[in-house]
Amino acid sequence: MENHRSLVDTAESMLQAVALARQALVHKENFKKFSASLEKTAIFLQELSKFKVKNSESVNRALEGLQSEVEAAKQLAAECSNGNKIYLLLSGKKIVEKMESTSKSMSRAMALFPLASLDVSPQTNQWLLNLCKNMEEAQYHLSPMEEEILHKIETGVQDRTTDRSFASNLLLLIAESLGIPSQENDLKEEFENFKNDIQSRNEALRMEQIILLLENADVVTTPKEKEMKYFTKRNSLGRQLLEPLQSFYCPITADIMRDPVETSSGYTFEREAIEKWLALGNGLCPLTKTPLTKLSVRPNRTLRQSIEEWKNRNIMITIASMKPEIQSRDEEQVLPSLKKLSELCEKSELHREWVVMEDYIPIVTALLHAKNSEIRLHALAILCSLAKDSDDNKEAIANVKDSITYVVYSLARKVEESMLALQLILELSRIVNVRNLIGDAQGGILLLVTLANSDDAQASKYAQELLDTLAFLDQNVVRMARAKFFGPLLQRLFEGSVAIQVIMADTLADLELTDHDKQCLSRGGALKALLQMLELDDIEVKSAAVRALENLSGVAPNGLQLIKQGAKTPLFELLFCHAASKLRLHVAKTIMHLAMSTASMEASEDQIRLMETEEDIFKLFSLVSYTGPEMQETLLLTFHALCRSPSGLDVRRELRQISAVKILVHLCELDDLAVRANAVKLLCYLTEDGDHQTFEEHVNRRCITTLIRIIKTSDSEDEKAAAMGIISRLPHNSQMSQDLSQCGALEVIFDCLKNEKEVVENAAEALCRFTATSNLEQQKRVAEAGIIPVLVKLLASGAPPTKRNAAISLKQLSESSSKLTIPVKTNSLLSCCFAPSEGICAVHLGICSTETSFCLLEAGAVRPLVMLLGEQDASACEASLDAILTLIEGVQLQNGCKVLEEAGAIVPIIKLLTSSCSSLQEKTLGALQRIFRLVDFKTKYGKSAQMSLVDITQRGSSTTKSLAAKILAQLNVLNEQSSFFDGT
């Protein structure tokens, strides 16, 4: 009796721990796994309490061990469900270690129960052994984000980091991990709670160090608090610079150390100096001549911190004391101090913050109208540095009287000053009201247009980016200014001599144009003029025209216009002209742009085709075999676009007919990553139409190995997705399946399903081959790899094709469940231990699990599948319905229907009667015909299905009409309302 009470009490205590664990604020996946083990242990103890368990030393030790560990588990779960989130996150390693320790101890305690002396079935004994084994081997891990946070904290604490960006980014990462809103007030409140929690715990030095690190974050300190802290410290320093201590100098270099390290001799040196000393073969300390090794060197963090504090103290005093010199009218005083200030700003964010607090922005901005160009250069450099730090600094610079005007003036000066002015304006333009100031600045836009078309590539890039940023202005000054440039250019292109036309075409080729610019030039007649230049015999003229066409054809309307004007014929002639071989790449890129335009939204309306004949496709693709990598890449991209165009089906068919598959398989094996990636993608396009003959011939085991290697090693998600797409669409015959299995395709599919990239969609399709009911061994491999929970997750989170394929795999796996479930004897301990609500499967009436019987109910897949019935994609709905119907096959009908009702499936199934998809409607009718065999279900749900069934008898196909009529007869409606079925 005493043991009975102890077993019950311990089980109840475990269930309390389970409830607490499910409320954990952090490490939720770990606690979910931990609570599952506790719950199974509690169930076992509850059932064991129903039997007479005699007192024995092993039983007593088992109970004592379990009682001790369950109290520890409760305490751990309580702390993690009530404690401060940040503290719990930072204590993550201790928490997971405690989970593992408790799990192992419970496993060893349960193993002491003498089941051999009880009437326990072999299945029950095996179940307990498996539970003990799982708990003994259980491992709990921090998530990658938690690991990253702890690593950064350790780095920051060790290096005594005071960098505000580091601390701010770290705190935001912590907030993201814990689901804390990233708004300033929320983060600050959570951080204050963390500090208070640490104080109440009387925590160790490490937590205090973490607080010091995170307190550098901007979000936990207001600008006013920073300013008060700064001036309090600065006013306490005095005005005299401190000389460095002797200990700050490296004995080898005689310079102040940046990274001091201590050696086994007890002396400290600059790391680089002592390592160089040792690398030169010097094995003795430079001072004591005692033996040294590189392994004996360790950082002297205390000295490093002292040096940093000394430097910052002197820099703070320096910044505060330079104002008189910088404001002086004597250039010889201004320049050195201004240069020093510029160097300090470039060196550290903290220095820039001090410069702003000392109110240097108006002082430095005023220097922009200085006559001395060197003064203006340093002023612009300082303002660029400050503007990058914050929007407040941008506003402060822009609000200084005439500041934008003076920056614009600098655009017209020498290259170095013009570049700095461009960078500053670009940075300031990120603030909306500043953009208007720039737009209003006299001559500013015209100067930018001039710079955008200059020979200096970097200046042109910055100016172009800034013009694009300013293009939204209501007064359209950018467009007007550019029009002033384009007008004369077009006029000369039409009316000038051939030499002038070449110059204008070259200009168009080299300009960085917006899409709007390209269309404007097209409307102005530039495309027609350039096509006319292609008809001339002069290769130089053709070269200029082709390069200009390459630039202008990059926007879809222009590309379509060129196709309509017959650009393909002269371009093809040039492409295959030996005399124009140097132009071949430019021609190919122009053709590529034309192909891309046929895949655009505009092309779908007009059904414009670039390639009219199979000969065109053959000629263009033939170049792939004997050109260089850049040309190959361009041609492959051309065919990518053609395959996506309205005529893509014809293009794909013709490419397969000309043996493109063989060439692409070879290109997939090349070392050139760009060519390989584009070959894989094009090969994937060619698999879309289900024409398997060419693939059975060329996609052999060697090719499969190549594709799998690409998936494993490629850095391109698109390439991996394409390679997996090829695998997913390969012919479903036994030889291909065997080759895929032997090449390790299944393992790669598993890995791909567990990430969140585009490759998942194709991996889910590829998996369907390996979950087929005909191959039980493959199904077991899938289940043992833990893929079924992943598939269940994809039902909710995947794209419609992914959901459909996940449902197909689950359906195929579920078809094997009835023969894999373990039957239960009603008179054994197992029937008690696994009562229907606890262990016996409510559908299969045996012991089911996700790993051994692929049971949808055990996998938690039923509700997600039911949710999928409401998906707009009919194929996903149909796959989901197929999977659900496996639960009501044969003798499972009554039990399966009850499970479906509990999951809320019956009403959504009835709603599918209104689907416009005939195959889905037909399957729904078949399902209801089975469900309504049960009187309770017919009574409860029959009426809600009547109107839809009647509608099908009037408007459905011959098959669905007949099925609907049969169901209405089941519902006793046929005779009562026979007028509805006239003509059926």
* pTM metric for this prediction: 0.51
pLDDT confidence of residue 282 = 86
pLDDT confidence of residue 412 = 61
CA atoms within 13 A on the CB side of 270: 15
Residue 197 · residue 84 · CB < 8 Å: yes
- Phi, psi angles (nearest 5°) of residue 402: 65, 15
For the ranges 16-25, 75-84, 114-123, 825-834, the lowest mean pLDDT is seen at 825-834
pLDDT confidence of residue 753 = 86
Angle, vertex CA 433, rays to CA 429 and CA 437, nearest 5: 75
If one counts every other C-beta atom within 10 angstroms of the C-beta of residue 26, the result is 24
pLDDT confidence of residue 1 = 44
**What kind of fold does domain 331-475 have according to CATH?**
Leucine-rich Repeat Variant (1.25.10)
Mean pLDDT of 570-595: 90
pLDDT confidence of residue 775 = 87
The span from the CA of 743 to the CA of 736, in Å, is 11
If one counts every other C-beta atom within 10 angstroms of the C-beta of residue 55, the result is 8
The span from the CA of 842 to the CA of 653, in Å, is 51
Partner residues linked to 261 by β-bridges: 269, 299
Instruction: Check pLDDT > 80 for residue 361.
Output: yes
Across 237-241, 598-602, 815-819, the highest mean pLDDT is recorded for 815-819
Partner residues linked to 823 by β-bridges: 846
b vs e for 832-841, b when ≥16 Cβ sit within 10 Å of the residue's Cβ?
bbbeeeebbb
For the ranges 31-40, 362-371, 437-446, 667-676, the lowest mean pLDDT is seen at 437-446
| Mean pLDDT score of the chain | 82
Comparing 403 with 754, which gets the higher pLDDT? Answer: 403
Type and span of the H or E element at 969: helix 958-970
The span from the CA of 857 to the CA of 814, in Å, is 10
What are the residue boundaries of the structural domains of the chain, listed by start?
2-142, 145-221, 222-321, 331-475, 771-894, 905-984
pLDDT confidence of residue 983 = 43
pLDDT confidence of residue 184 = 66
| 928-962 pLDDT, tens digit each | 999 999 999 989 999 999 999 999 988 888 888 88
Task: Determine the 3-state secondary structure of 291 from DSSP.
Answer: strand
Q: 639: which 2 tokens?
A: 């065919």
Angle, vertex CA 951, rays to CA 946 and CA 953, nearest 5: 95
For the ranges 65-69, 386-390, 445-449, 729-733, the lowest mean pLDDT is seen at 445-449
Instruction: Check pLDDT > 50 for residue 835.
Output: no
**What kind of fold does domain 222-321 have according to CATH?**
Herpes Virus-1 (3.30.40)
User: Helices 2-21 and 28-48, interaxial angle, to 10°?
Assistant: 160
Q: 775: which 2 tokens?
A: 């191959």
pLDDT confidence of residue 905 = 92
| 191-222 pLDDT, tens digit each | 777 777 776 665 556 777 777 777 777 666 76
Q: In what order do the strands lie in the sheet with 298-299?
A: 268-270, 260-262, 298-299
The span from the CA of 360 to the CA of 39, in Å, is 65
pLDDT band at 460 (very low <50, low <70, confident <90, very high): low
pLDDT confidence of residue 33 = 87
Q: Hey, what amino acid is at 323?
A: K
pLDDT confidence of residue 496 = 65
Residue 636 · residue 678 · CB < 8 Å: yes
Type and span of the H or E element at 7: helix 2-21
What residue has token string 């009682």? Answer: 67
Q: Are strands 268-270 and 822-823 parallel, antiparallel or unpaired?
A: unpaired
Contacts of the segment 406-409: beta carbons below 8 A, 24+ positions apart: 406/365, 406/368, 406/369, 407/368, 407/380, 408/438, 408/441, 408/442, 408/443, 408/444, 408/447, 409/368, 409/369
pLDDT confidence of residue 831 = 42
Residue 824: left if φ>0, alpha if ψ -120 to 50, beta else—which one? beta
Task: Determine the 3-state secondary structure of 280 from DSSP.
Answer: coil
For the ranges 281-285, 670-674, 756-760, 952-956, the lowest mean pLDDT is seen at 756-760
Mean pLDDT of 662-690: 88
Instruction: Check pLDDT > 60 for residue 439.
Output: no
pLDDT confidence of residue 421 = 83
What is the per-residue DSSP string for 511-535? Answer: ----HHHHHHHHHTTHHHHHHHHHT
Partner residues linked to 262 by β-bridges: 268, 298
Comparing 484 with 178, which gets the higher pLDDT? Answer: 178
Instruction: Check pLDDT > 90 for residue 493.
Output: no
Mean pLDDT of 701-706: 89
| 128-186 pLDDT, tens digit each | 788 888 888 888 888 888 888 888 888 877 777 766 777 777 888 888 777 777 666 77
For the ranges 446-455, 682-691, 819-828, the lowest mean pLDDT is seen at 446-455
Q: 251: which 2 tokens?
A: 């004995």
pLDDT confidence of residue 144 = 83
